[in-house]
Amino acid sequence: MDRARVFRALHHHRVPGDPLVLPGPWDAASARVFAEAGFPALATPSAGIAASLGHEDGRTPADEMFAAVARITRAVDVPVSADVEGGYGLPPKELVERLLEAGAVGCNLEDSEDGVLEDPHRHADRLAEVRAAAGDRLFLNARVDTFVRGITDPERAIERAALYVAAGADCVYPIGAPAGVLPLLRSGIEGPLNVNALPGQGPSPAELGALGATRITFGPGLQRRAVRALREIAAELLPK
């Protein structure tokens, strides 16, 4: 069974309270740590990789991002999905080719750019083109940015999600959705639901799963937690 098929299967037939937990490696070393810990798959965070490469979030050149993803996929034997932001302006066919060349089994695609939400119908058309180019070789996670763009009405997220699922998205990611609206989102969104967790803050992955999350990702949270730990180590090394 190929990795893409394995990855897709991990999202289905999950029981409430047992979501798929996907740590976010930012380099090969962190990927190996998560894989050796026993996680069945990983999902890279674009912001975490950007920080590791010395870029601001959203400012990583495409070539550097795909090269970083490739280093991660080569380092582990588990499936890896890649956050490729809005797709870097690449035509769908080229985007799919570059993801596959990097060894990714899936990707996140955002529906806003420079802080502005895209027209949902236009974005759905792009998702459909990516799906057509990828076939079943990539698991497509469609990020819905309404909550992080100040639109708190869950129905707006559900409306976008419906268009994206119809276009071929395998999973929907309403980033920034409050835990309290997850049951409503779960009832209104078809298929797997991705929810972001904050390490050491808020509901646990199991609690988010009980509220309706199919899978849990952490964005750059794990990389930032590692940086905080490194700062503490660095402080200990300074002469007293």
* pLDDT at residue 1, rounded to an integer: 55
pLDDT under 70: residue ranges of the chain? 1
The half-sphere exposure of 159 on its side-chain side, counting CA atoms within 13 A, is 9
Distance between start and end Cα atoms, the chain: 56
* pLDDT at residue 117, rounded to an integer: 97
CB 141 within 8 A of CB 107: yes
Q: Residues 6 or more apart from 102 whose CB is under 8 A from it?
A: 66, 67, 69, 70, 73, 82
Strands 112-113, 116-117: pairing is: antiparallel
Neighbours of 202 (CB within 10 A): 12
* Radius of gyration, CA atoms only, the chain: 17
Q: Cα–Cα distance between 123 and 159 in angstroms, integer?
A: 13
* pLDDT at residue 152, rounded to an integer: 95
* pLDDT at residue 240, rounded to an integer: 81
Task: Write out pLDDT tens, residues 35-83.
Answer: 999 999 999 999 999 999 999 999 999 999 999 999 999 999 999 999 9
Q: Cα–Cα distance between 52 and 37 in angstroms, integer?
A: 22
pTM: 0.95
* pLDDT at residue 200, rounded to an integer: 82
Q: Which amino acid is at 203?
A: P
Strands 116-117, 20-21: pairing is: unpaired
* pLDDT at residue 51, rounded to an integer: 97
